[in-house]
C-alpha cells in the first residue's frame, strides 16, 4: 500500500536542496512573501509532488500560459476548492495505484489557497478534507491578509482596522473592518482531532517553514499549514522589509509560530521564547511600519495591543487555544 515519502528534516539553511521547482516565469510583486512560500514549499517537497493551486495571487500572478514557473505538475483549482482538489487528486492516485492502473509510489499532494480561498470560501472543503484519514495530502494556506489579487479587499483573515479597498477609513467611519482575524490553525486543530499535523509558519523563518512542509508530507494523512506572508502591495510598505515585518509580527506576538503533532502543541522559535517570558515587542512597532494602519489613533493601537495581550495572558494555550478557564 502506498505510504508517504520520508523527507528528512533540514538542520540549517545550508542543507536546503539546491534544485528549484518553482522558477522564473511568474510575475508576482517585488517583495512578495507568498511567492517565497511557494518556492520553499516545493523545494522542501521535491519533484515527486503534484501541486494544486486555488484561485488567488499565487494562481493569477504566478501561472501565466506559456511561462509557468512550476517544474512539478501543477493544476489550477477553484477559489474554494483547495480541500477538494487535494482530496480528489489523492483519491485518484490511490484508486489507480491500488488497482494497479498506475505505478505504486508515494506522490506528495499539496493544495494551496490564499486567505480568501482558505479562511473564507474554502473553509468547509478544507475541514472536510481533514476528516479523510485515508488520503495523504497537505493543504497550505498562504495568508497575506486580504484578497490581494483582486485589489486588496478585506478577508476573514485581515487584521482589525486594516485599510483595504472594501474597508477604507473615511471621514465618518475610521475603522471599517471591525472583525478580528480568524484563528485558523487553532480552529482546525481543535476541530479535527485525528489530523496528525497542523502548523503555522512564516517564510522569515525559512528552515522552520520547510521542515514543517516536510513533516506534514511525511507523517501521513491530511495535514494543514498556515503561513503568514507580508504583502508590500496590500500592507503598504517598501518591499525590502517583507522579511523584517514577518519577524516583527512574531516578536510582537501577533503571529504565533507553532505546530500540533499527534495532539501535542509545540510553540516554535521566538514564539516559544515569548511563552517562556521574553517580553513581547509593542504591537505599535509592527503597525507603524505599514500604511494599512496609518489611520490608527492611539486608542486603536491600544485596542489592538489589548487583544494581543489577552491572547497571550488569558487564552488557555497562549496564541493557540482560546478561551481561558472560567474562574471557579
Q: Which residue carries 518556492 as its cell?
A: 39
Among 22, 74, 255, 293, binds other proteins (CB under 8 A): 74
DSSP 206-244: HHHHHHHHHHHHHH-SEEEEEEE---HHHHTS-GGGHHH
Per-residue x/- mask for other proteins, residues 290 to 319, rule CB under 8 A?
------------------------------
218 lies in the site for other proteins, by CB under 8 A = no
Binding part of the chain for other proteins, among 33-41, 61-69, 195-203, 266-274 by CB under 8 A, reads 61-69
- For other proteins, the closer CB: 74 or 293: 74
Count of CB atoms situated within 10 Å of the CB of 231: 26
In angstroms, give the least distance from the CB of 88 to other proteins: 3
The separation between the first and the last C-alpha atoms of the chain, rounded to the nearest angstrom, is 51
107 lies in the site for other proteins, by CB under 8 A = yes
- Burial letters 140-169, b for 16+ CB under 10 A, else e: bbbbbbbbbbeebbbbbbbbbbbbbeebeb
Per-residue x/- mask for other proteins, residues 123 to 162, rule CB under 8 A?
-xx-xx---x------------------------------
In angstroms, give the least distance from the CB of 210 to other proteins: 19
Q: Give the Cα separation of 156 and 15 in Å (integer).
A: 37
Per-residue x/- mask for other proteins, residues 28 to 57, rule CB under 8 A?
-------------------xxxx-x-----
The answer to whether the beta carbons of residues 37 and 209 sit under 8 Å apart is: yes
265 lies in the site for other proteins, by CB under 8 A = no
87 lies in the site for other proteins, by CB under 8 A = yes
Q: Is 100 left (phi over 0), alpha (psi -120 to 50) or beta?
A: left
In angstroms, give the least distance from the CB of 163 to other proteins: 28
116 lies in the site for other proteins, by CB under 8 A = no
75 lies in the site for other proteins, by CB under 8 A = yes
Binding part of the chain for other proteins, among 7-15, 35-43, 92-100, 241-249 by CB under 8 A, reads 92-100
The kind and range of the H/E element at 269 are helix 269-275
In angstroms, give the least distance from the CB of 141 to other proteins: 17
Grid coordinates belonging to 100: 494497479
99 lies in the site for other proteins, by CB under 8 A = yes
SS3 74: strand
- Bridge-based pairing of strands 197-201 and 137-143 is unpaired
Q: Give the Cα separation of 122 and 220 in Å (integer).
A: 22
80 lies in the site for other proteins, by CB under 8 A = yes
Return the closest-CA partner of residue 87 out of 222, 288, 268, 257.
Answer: 222
Per-residue x/- mask for other proteins, residues 175 to 194, rule CB under 8 A?
--------------------
Among 17, 92, 170, 191, binds other proteins (CB under 8 A): 92
In angstroms, give the least distance from the CB of 294 to other proteins: 32
- Bridge-based pairing of strands 264-267 and 258-261 is antiparallel
Using CB under 8 A, count the residues that bind other proteins: 45
Q: Give the Cα separation of 190 and 58 in Å (integer).
A: 28
Grid coordinates belonging to 247: 519577524
Q: Give the Cα separation of 134 and 147 in Å (integer).
A: 32
Among 84, 146, 223, 257, binds other proteins (CB under 8 A): 84
Q: Which spans of this chain sit near other proteins (rule: CB under 8 A)?
A: 47-50, 52, 59-60, 63-66, 68, 70-78, 80-81, 83-85, 87-89, 91-96, 98-99, 101-102, 107, 124-125, 127-128, 132
Amino acid at each position: 500500500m502506498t505510504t508517504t515519502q520520508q523527507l528528512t528534516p533540514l538542520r540549517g539553511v545550508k542543507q536546503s536542496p539546491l534544485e528549484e521547482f518553482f522558477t522564473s516565469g511568474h510575475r508576482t510583486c517585488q517583495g512578495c512573501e507568498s511567492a517565497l512560500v511557494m518556492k520553499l514549499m516545493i523545494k522542501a517537497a521535491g519533484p515527486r509532488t503534484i501541486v494544486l493551486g486555488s484561485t488567488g495571487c499565487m494562481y493569477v500572478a504566478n501561472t501565466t500560459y506559456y511561462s509557468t514557473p512550476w517544474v512539478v505538475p501543477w493544476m489550477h483549482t477553484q477559489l474554494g476548492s483547495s480541500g477538494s482538489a487535494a482530496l480528489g487528486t489523492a483519491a485518484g492516485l490511490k484508486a489507480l495505484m491500488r488497482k494497479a492502473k498506475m505505478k505504486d509510489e508515494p506522490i506528495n499532494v499539496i493544495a494551496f489557497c490564499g486567505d480568501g480561498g482558505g479562511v473564507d470560501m474554502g473553509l468547509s472543503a478544507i475541514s472536510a478534507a481533514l476528516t479523510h484519514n485515508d488520503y495523504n495530502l497537505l493543504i497550505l494556506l498562504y495568508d497575506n491578509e486580504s484578497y490581494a489579487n483582486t485589489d486588496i479587499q478585506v478577508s476573514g483573515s485581515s487584521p482589525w482596522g486594516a485599510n483595504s479597498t472594501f474597508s477604507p477609513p473615511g471621514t465618518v467611519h475610521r475603522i471599517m473592518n471591525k472583525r478580528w482575524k480568524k484563528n485558523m490553525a487553532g480552529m482546525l486543530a481543535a476541530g479535527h482531532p485525528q489530523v496528525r499535523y497542523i502548523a503555522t509558519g512564516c517564510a522569515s523563518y525559512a528552515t522552520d517553514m520547510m521542515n514543517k512542509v516536510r513533516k506534514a508530507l511525511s507523517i501521513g494523512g491530511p495535514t494543514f499549514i498556515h503561513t503568514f506572508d507580508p504583502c508590500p502591495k496590500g500592507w503598504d510598505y517598501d518591499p525590502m522589509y517583507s522579511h523584517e515585518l514577518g519577524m516583527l509580527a512574531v516578536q510582537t506576538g501577533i503571529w504565533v509560530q507553532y505546530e500540533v503533532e499527534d495532539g501535542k502543541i509545540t510553540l516554535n522559535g521566538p514564539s516559544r521564547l515569548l511563552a517562556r517570558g521574553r517580553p513581547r515587542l509593542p504591537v505599535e512597532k509592527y503597525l507603524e511600519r505599514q500604511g494599512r494602519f496609518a489611520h490608527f489613533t492611539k486608542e486603536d493601537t491600544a485596542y489592538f495591543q489589548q487583544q494581543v495581550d489577552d491572547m497571550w495572558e488569558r487564552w488557555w494555550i497562549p496564541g493557540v487555544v482560546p478561551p481561558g478557564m472560567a474562574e471557579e
